[in-house]
């Protein structure tokens, strides 16, 4: 026995649960990253862009007469101090100065510091920004962000200076300085951190609960359905089992119920078939054994007629076995169709002859009206098996007149139509649909005398459907039946 058991995949519930939690976790992480880690960078980038735009507007306004208004507006809108210089021969002349706050860096610049700023701006291609600390000790001074603070000094403010340098068409250099408080990002971040901690915990808890209930709601009906479906093979699946919850489960449950009904039917039919077949097999076998023993023991009985009985019974056996073999072969390679072009007229003529000579001794009359030269594109073996099964049935269920009529002709619609007619008892309206089902036999008790497995017409149906052919039966009780099929005519 093979005991290397394959590891079964994780259940739906586990997966849903994990994905849900993972999703929430990703959201929480993203929130933290954007709100805490990158907040100052975002803030810096946005402020830089805003100040740069304002500085450009101010520099533009130098040549007009609205310099002061522009600088004032920029100062108001950005909460920044503004200084505008004209640089000539490395000498800065202040053109305009607007104060937004008392403590700012650009208003306590020494000439040397102004020069340094100018050079840095020049070196950076016209735009420069840097953060400074405004330090109060003996008076005010400012130092770079990372600079050390001496004892007795304290940081009053943190500022960002933005410098912009342009050269006017007449060669004059305009140097705009803006000074802007670095907003208390750290305080904001701290508040956000506390908020986010609470939010993350709540979010994870909610998603945990949601994941639990949703996964339960989705998987529970499936589990119940599975338990019920396990009973399918034993036929104990309730045919009207309805597991609701959501549409897919209801549909699956409906499908399983239908399958249960079908399995039940097939099971019943199979049992009947086995009973029938064993009964039907026994009759010809008893006849063969009986006749053979008589012929062995009594040399006088060794007549051609008795031999014929044995041969006929052996034929009955063989045709029953053939039906069974066909159906199992069919199940093995259901959609294998080897199409070829051949003359159906010729084949039907041969079959007619074959049946005529075989059955004439038993008093049957098989008559054929076959139009010549009708070709089709089809699987020869399957099509001839189809024709034979129909003829077989017509012979089996033929009426008193023991007549079977075969017709092959071309229809108006460019098709070839094959018809098998008998004048037997016919088929009741309510059975017409069902006779094509596997193992289905009308009036089992009565037909017991006739050899049959209930498979013949199901083979016919499968074969014709594989060819996309039209087929059917016209039948009236007491008057007989005409079974027919139509295939496309092949020129």
Q: Candidates 4-12, 165-173, 352-360, 434-442 — which segment interacts with ligand ADP by CB under 6 A?
A: 434-442
Spell out the residues 6+ positions from residue 381 whose beta carbon is closer than 8 angstroms to its own.
Answer: 338
* Options 384, 435, 464, 469; binder of ligand ADP; rule CB under 6 A: 435
Q: Return the percent helix, strand and coil in the chain, to nearest 5.
A: 55, 20, 25
Q: Taking the complex as a whole, how short is the minimal distance between the CB of residue 421 and ligand ADP, in angstroms? A: 9
By DSSP bridging, strand 365-370 and strand 403-410 are parallel
Residues 440-469 within binding reach of ligand ADP (CB under 6 A): 440-442, 447, 452-458
* Options 85, 291, 397, 485; binder of ligand ADP; rule CB under 6 A: 397
Q: Taking the complex as a whole, how short is the minimal distance between the CB of residue 310 and ligand ADP, in angstroms? A: 23
Question: Which one, 117 or 455, has the nearer CB to ligand ADP?
Answer: 455
Question: If we measure between CA atoms, which residue out of 375, 350, 370, 386 comes closest to residue 467?
Answer: 386
Distance CA 377, CA 487 (A): 8
Q: Candidates 75-83, 107-115, 159-167, 420-428 — which segment interacts with ligand ADP by CB under 6 A?
A: 420-428
Q: Taking the complex as a whole, how short is the minimal distance between the CB of residue 282 and ligand ADP, in angstroms? A: 17
Q: Taking the complex as a whole, how short is the minimal distance between the CB of residue 410 and ligand ADP, in angstroms? A: 24
Question: If we measure between CA atoms, which residue out of 175, 98, 161, 99 comes closest to residue 133?
Answer: 161
Residue indicated by tokens 């039940």: 264
Site string for ligand ADP, 121-140 (x = CB under 6 A): --------------------
Would you call 239 helix, strand, or coil by DSSP?
A: coil
Q: Taking the complex as a whole, how short is the minimal distance between the CB of residue 395 and ligand ADP, in angstroms? A: 9
Question: If we measure between CA atoms, which residue out of 43, 49, 92, 100 comes closest to residue 74?
Answer: 100
Tokens of 112: 């040397």
Q: Candidates 34-42, 205-213, 246-254, 438-446 — which segment interacts with ligand ADP by CB under 6 A?
A: 438-446
H/E segment holding residue 127: strand 127-137
Spell out the residues 6+ positions from residue 123 whose beta carbon is closer than 8 angstroms to its own.
Answer: none
Question: Which one, 148 or 430, has the nearer CB to ligand ADP?
Answer: 430
Spell out the residues 6+ positions from residue 182 whose beta carbon is closer than 8 angstroms to its own.
Answer: 131, 158, 159, 160
Would you call 43 helix, strand, or coil by DSSP?
A: helix
By CB under 6 A, tell whether 427 contacts ligand ADP: yes
Q: Candidates 10-18, 170-178, 230-238, 433-441 — which segment interacts with ligand ADP by CB under 6 A?
A: 433-441
Q: Taking the complex as a whole, how short is the minimal distance between the CB of residue 299 and ligand ADP, in angstroms? A: 38
* Options 158, 280, 422, 462; binder of ligand ADP; rule CB under 6 A: 422
Q: Taking the complex as a whole, how short is the minimal distance between the CB of residue 416 and ligand ADP, in angstroms? A: 21
Tokens of 367: 């008559």
**DSSP β-bridge partners for residue 164:** 127, 176
Question: Which one, 47 or 393, has the nearer CB to ligand ADP?
Answer: 393
CB-based contact 479:426 (threshold 8 Å): yes
Residues 375-394 within binding reach of ligand ADP (CB under 6 A): 393-394
Question: Which one, 133 or 392, has the nearer CB to ligand ADP?
Answer: 392
Distance CA 243, CA 280 (A): 44
Size of the site for ligand ADP (CB under 6 A): 20
By CB under 6 A, tell whether 284 contacts ligand ADP: no
Q: What is the DSSP letter of 33?
A: I
Question: Which one, 54 or 457, has the nearer CB to ligand ADP?
Answer: 457
Q: By the criterion CB under 6 A, which residues form the site for ligand ADP?
A: 393-394, 396-397, 422, 424, 427, 435, 440-442, 447, 452-458, 481
């Amino acid at each position: 026995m093979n005991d290397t058991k394959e590891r079964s995949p994780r259940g739906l519930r586990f997966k849903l649960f994990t994905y849900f939690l993972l999703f929430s976790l990703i959201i929480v992480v993203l929130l933290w990253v954007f709100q805490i880690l990158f907040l100052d960078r975002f803030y810096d980038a946005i402020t830089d862009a805003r100040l740069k735009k304002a500085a450009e507007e101010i520099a533009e306004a130098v040549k007009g007469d609205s310099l002061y208004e522009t600088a004032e507006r920029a100062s108001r809108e950005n909460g920044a101090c503004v200084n505008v210089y004209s640089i000539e021969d490395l000498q800065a002349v202040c053109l305009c100065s607007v104060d937004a706050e008392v403590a700012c860096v650009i208003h306590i610049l020494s000439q040397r510091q102004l020069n340094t700023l100018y050079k840095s701006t020049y070196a950076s291609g016209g735009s420069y920004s840097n953060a400074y600390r405004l330090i109060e000790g003996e008076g005010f001074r400012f130092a770079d962000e990372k600079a050390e603070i001496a004892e007795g000094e304290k940081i009053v403010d943190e500022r960002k200076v933005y410098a912009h340098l342009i050269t006017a068409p007449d060669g004059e250099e305009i140097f705009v300085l803006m000074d802007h408080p670095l907003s208390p990002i750290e305080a904001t971040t701290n508040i956000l951190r506390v908020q986010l901690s609470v939010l993350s915990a709540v979010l994870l808890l909610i998603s945990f609960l949601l994941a639990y209930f949703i996964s339960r709601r989705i998987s529970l009906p499936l589990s119940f359905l599975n338990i019920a479906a396990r009973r399918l093979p034993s036929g104990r699946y309730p045919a009207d089992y309805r597991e609701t919850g959501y549409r897919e489960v209801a549909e699956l449950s409906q499908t399983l119920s239908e399958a249960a009904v079908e399995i039940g039917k097939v099971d019943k039919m199979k049992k009947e078939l086995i009973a029938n077949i064993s009964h039907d097999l026994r009759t010809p076998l008893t006849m063969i054994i009986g006749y053979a023993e008589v012929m062995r023991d009594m040399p006088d009985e060794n007549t051609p007629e008795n031999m014929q009985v044995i041969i006929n019974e052996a034929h009955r056996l063989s045709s029953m076995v053939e039906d069974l073999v066909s159906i199992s072969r069919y199940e093995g390679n259901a959609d294998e169709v080897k199409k070829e072009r051949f003359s159906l007229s010729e084949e039907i003529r041969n079959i007619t002859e074959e049946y005529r000579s075989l059955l004439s001794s038993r008093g049957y009359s098989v008559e054929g009206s076959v139009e010549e030269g009708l070709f089709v594109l089809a699987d020869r073996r399957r099509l001839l098996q189809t024709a034979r099964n129909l003829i077989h049935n017509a012979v089996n269920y033929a009426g008193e007149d023991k007549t079977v009529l075969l017709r092959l002709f071309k229809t108006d619609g460019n098709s070839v139509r094959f018809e098998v007619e008998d004048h037997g008892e016919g088929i009741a309206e309510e059975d017409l649909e069902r006779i094509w089902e596997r193992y289905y036999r009308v009036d089992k008790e009565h037909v017991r005398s006739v050899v049959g497995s209930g498979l013949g017409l199901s083979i016919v149906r499968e074969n014709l459907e594989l060819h996309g052919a039209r087929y059917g039966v016209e039948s009236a009780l007491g008057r007989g039946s005409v079974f027919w099929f139509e295939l496309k005519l092949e020129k």
